[in-house]
Homo-oligomer: A and B are copies of this chain.
């Protein structure tokens, strides 16, 4: 396999190298490589031959700069790619985005709020075509700033706060209420709650759903049974264990996400009680745990795909914009809500 290089060694060939090699001007080479029809077939073939001979790859950086558009990149801002929820989201986003010839840049913040701010600024500086974010905290000013800079922003599983943007949400409230109601319909009267820190939108929304179900059943909310703040299964397991060790322990638990459900499962199995368990998010092997389990499900791939589609709409919109006088948004921002369902495992 000969390594073809005409020009300076080590440097990738440029359009000019191709042009010289083919005995034409850079302009003609450019036309050929972008399939401009106004080129003589003969020269076209010569240029193509030169390009393959040199192993020419158009420099997309230069192209982006010249075209003035974005870089064909979409920034995806999440807290933890190792959480299956986020990796599926990423996959869904990427599948849509790739279909339009773009690529996804991942930004994993690991819950670091400052890091998230820097990350978004960096993505804007990189001239991404758009940003899809699941903000970690409640402060969204960095996203508002990006949007103000003209970068399309789509939020996933959290609504925009303090600015306007498209978003895809899950029916957090309804799903949590339904799951809790299911527990109550089985006779449980003391139902505990385990969830993420209060700053997380989905967590509080799901707590609201849980509380609403209790209220519907005429039950008071017992704050001693509510534990917020667990992000990882190990923390959730400890929190659940403490609930189960209460003098008057709950007979059922509702968890606001898969991390907490898994932790609660471990605690229940460890203590050997027959506490009923329900949670938000389906997860692999949930059916194989040997415990009855009620889960709130939704199409998490579709969540990502929808986010991707919403973003691509805006991206296309921006590309088409010739000279909008005031720069106002062309179409109203959308808010898509994904429905949830309940599934019963292990019974």
Question: A-side interface residues toward B, CB under 8 Å?
Answer: 1, 3, 9-12, 55, 57-62, 64-65, 71-73, 80-82, 84, 87-88, 90-91, 94-95, 98, 103-108, 121-127, 141, 144-145, 148-150, 262, 265-266, 269, 284-285, 288-290, 321, 324, 326-327
A87-B94 CB under 8 A given contacts A9-B327, A59-B125, A71-B61: no
Bound complex: CA of A125 vs CA of B12, how far in Å?
10
Bound complex: CA of A12 vs CA of B87, how far in Å?
32
7 A-B pairs with least C-beta separation? A87-B87, A10-B327, A57-B125, A81-B91, A9-B327, A285-B285, A60-B126
- With A104-B105, A284-B285, A285-B288 already in contact, 9 other A-B pairs whose C-beta atoms are closer than 8 Å: A3-B148, A9-B327, A61-B64, A82-B84, A90-B106, A262-B285, A265-B288, A285-B285, A288-B290
A127 touches B61 (CB 8 A): yes
Q: Which chain B residues lie closer than 8 Å to A95 at the CB level?
A: 108
Q: Which chain B residues lie closer than 8 Å to A59 at the CB level?
A: 65, 125, 127
A126-B61 CB under 8 A given contacts A106-B106, A150-B12: yes
A94 touches B108 (CB 8 A): yes
Determine how many copies of this chain the complex contains: 2
A10 touches B61 (CB 8 A): no
B94 touches A125 (CB 8 A): no
Q: Which chain B residues lie closer than 8 Å to A1 at the CB level?
A: 141, 144, 148
Q: Which chain B residues lie closer than 8 Å to A122 at the CB level?
A: 103
B65 touches A62 (CB 8 A): yes
Q: Which chain B residues lie closer than 8 Å to A81 at the CB level?
A: 87, 90-91, 94
Query: A265's closest neighbor in chain B, by CB?
Result: B288
Bound complex: CA of A29 vs CA of B55, how far in Å?
38
Distance in Å: Cβ of A79 to nearest Cβ of chain B: 11
Query: A258's closest neighbor in chain B, by CB?
Result: B284
Q: Which chain B residues lie closer than 8 Å to A98 at the CB level?
A: 108
Bound complex: CA of A125 vs CA of B82, how far in Å?
29
Q: Which chain B residues lie closer than 8 Å to A145 at the CB level?
A: 55
A105-B107 CB under 8 A given contacts A59-B125, A326-B9: no
Q: Which chain B residues lie closer than 8 Å to A12 at the CB level?
A: 149-150
Distance in Å: Cβ of A268 to nearest Cβ of chain B: 11
Distance in Å: Cβ of A209 to nearest Cβ of chain B: 26
A58-B104 CB under 8 A given contacts A150-B12, A327-B9: no
Bound complex: CA of A273 vs CA of B127, how far in Å?
58
Q: Which chain B residues lie closer than 8 Å to A148 at the CB level?
A: 1, 3, 55
Distance in Å: Cβ of A61 to nearest Cβ of chain B: 5
Query: A148's closest neighbor in chain B, by CB?
Result: B3
Distance in Å: Cβ of A320 to nearest Cβ of chain B: 13
